[in-house]
C-alpha cells in the first residue's frame, strides 16, 4: 500500500500534521536533515517544495525561500539525489510539491521513476490542469503507485470537488482561502462556512487543510474540520530564522501552535 494511504488508514482518531519546506533553503544541504528531524519529532508526512522561479500560488515567505534555494544550486535532480541518500531511513511519506514547468522539463515519466527510486510517495502540482492530469499524469502515477494530490478552494464548485474526489486517491488538499500562501491569525466566518460545506459532502477521500495555519486557533479549526493540518509559511519562516536548525525551528513551531 502507498505510504500516504497507510497513514490515513492507520490514524484512527489522530489528527495529522504535515509540514512543508522548500528543498535547498536556507542551505543547499539542509534538506535531508530537515526531513529526518521532522520524522524524529513525530510529523506525519512532509511536503518537500521544489523551488521554482515563478511560484504564482505562493506568498513572499515561500517565494523568498525558493529564490534562495535556486541561488544555492538546488535542482530537481539534486533533490532526488538527496532524498535517495536517506531513503532507507525515512518511514513517513514524502510528497513533492512543485510547479508543472520543472517537472515537464525533467520528463513526467522520468519524474515518476525518480520518485520511486528516492522514496517519494506522491506529488502536488498546483498548476496542473485536471484534463492533463487525467490524460497524461494519472496513468503514469498509477503505474508507479504514486498519489497525485489535488487542491480545492472556497471557489471550487461542488461538481468539480466531486469529480476530483472520484478521480484521485490519498487525500484532498483543502486550501483555506483563494489567496496566496501565508500565515493567518484566525479563520473568518466565510472560511468556517466553507469548511462546514465540504464536511456535509460525504467525500470518499480524507482532507487536509492548509494555507494560513500558524497558531492554536487556526490549527484547531483545521483539525476540527479535516483529518489534519498542513503548515508551510510559518515553518519556512522559523527554519530561516533558525538558520536551518530544524529541531530549533520545530521547537518554536510547537510553541506557537499552543498559543
Question: What is the pTM assigned to this prediction?
Answer: 0.94
| Residue pLDDT, tens place only, 16-67 | 999 999 999 999 999 999 999 999 999 999 999 999 988 776 789 999 999 9
Residues 6+ apart with CB under 8 A from 227: 8, 11, 15, 16, 171, 206, 207, 208
Is 188 marked active-site?
Answer: no
Determine the Cα–Cα distance for residues 121 and 203; give it in Å rounded to an integer. Answer: 22
Q: Give the pLDDT of residue 58.
A: 78
Q: Is the pLDDT of residue 124 over 90?
A: yes
CA atoms of 82 and 75, how far apart (whole Å): 11
Q: At what angle do helices 216-224 and 189-199 cross, to 10 degrees?
A: 20
pLDDT at 185: 55
Indicate whether 243 pLDDT > 70: yes
pLDDT over 90 for what percent of the chain?
A: 89
- In tens, the pLDDT along 158-202 reads 999 999 999 999 999 999 875 545 445 557 788 889 999 999 999
Q: Considering only CA atoms, which of 242, 247, 234, 236 is closest in space to residue 42?
A: 247
Q: Is 135 a catalytic residue?
A: no
pLDDT band at 79 (very low <50, low <70, confident <90, very high): very high
**CA 129 from chain center: how many Å?**
18
Find the catalytic residue in 44, 58, 165, 245. 58
Residues 218-242 pLDDT 10s: 999 999 999 999 999 999 999 999 9
pLDDT recorded at residue 225: 95
pLDDT of residue 178: 58
DSSP letter at 96? E
Catalytic hit among 44, 47, 169, 240: 47
Amino acid at each position: 500500500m502507498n505510504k500516504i494511504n497507510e497513514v490515513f488508514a492507520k490514524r484512527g482518531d489522530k489528527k495529522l500534521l504535515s509540514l512543508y519546506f522548500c528543498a535547498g533553503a536556507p542551505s543547499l544541504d539542509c534538506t535531508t536533515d530537515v526531513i529526518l528531524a521532522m520524522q524524529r519529532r513525530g510529523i506525519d508526512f512532509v511536503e518537500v517544495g521544489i523551488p521554482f522561479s515563478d511560484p504564482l500560488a505562493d506568498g513572499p515567505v515561500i517565494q523568498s525561500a525558493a529564490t534562495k534555494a535556486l541561488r544555492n544550486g538546488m535542482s530537481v535532480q539534486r533533490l532526488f539525489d538527496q532524498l535517495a541518500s536517506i531513503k532507507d531511513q525515512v518511514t513517513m511519506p514524502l510528497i513533492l510539491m512543485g510547479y508543472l514547468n520543472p517537472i515537464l522539463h525533467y520528463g513526467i515519466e522520468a519524474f515518476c521513476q525518480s520518485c520511486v527510486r528516492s522514496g517519494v510517495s506522491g506529488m502536488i502540482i498546483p498548476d496542473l490542469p485536471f484534463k492533463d492530469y487525467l490524460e497524461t499524469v494519472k496513468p503514469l502515477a498509477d503505474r508507479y503507485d504514486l498519489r497525485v494530490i489535488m487542491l480545492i478552494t472556497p471557489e471550487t464548485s461542488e461538481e468539480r470537488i466531486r469529480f476530483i474526489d472520484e478521480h484521485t486517491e490519498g487525500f484532498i488538499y483543502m486550501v483555506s482561502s483563494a489567496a496566496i500562501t501565508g500565515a493567518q491569525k484566525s479563520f473568518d466566518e466565510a472560511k468556517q462556512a466553507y469548511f462546514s460545506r465540504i464536511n456535509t459532502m460525504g467525500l470518499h477521500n480524507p482532507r487536509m487543510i492548509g494555507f494560513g495555519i500558524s497558531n492554536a486557533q487556526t490549527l484547531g479549526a483545521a483539525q476540527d474540520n479535516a483529518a489534519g493540518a498542513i503548515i508551510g509559511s510559518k515553518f519556512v519562516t522559523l527554519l530561516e530564522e533558525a538558520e536551518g536548525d530544524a529541531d530549533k525551528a520545530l521547537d518554536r513551531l510547537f510553541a506557537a501552535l499552543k498559543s
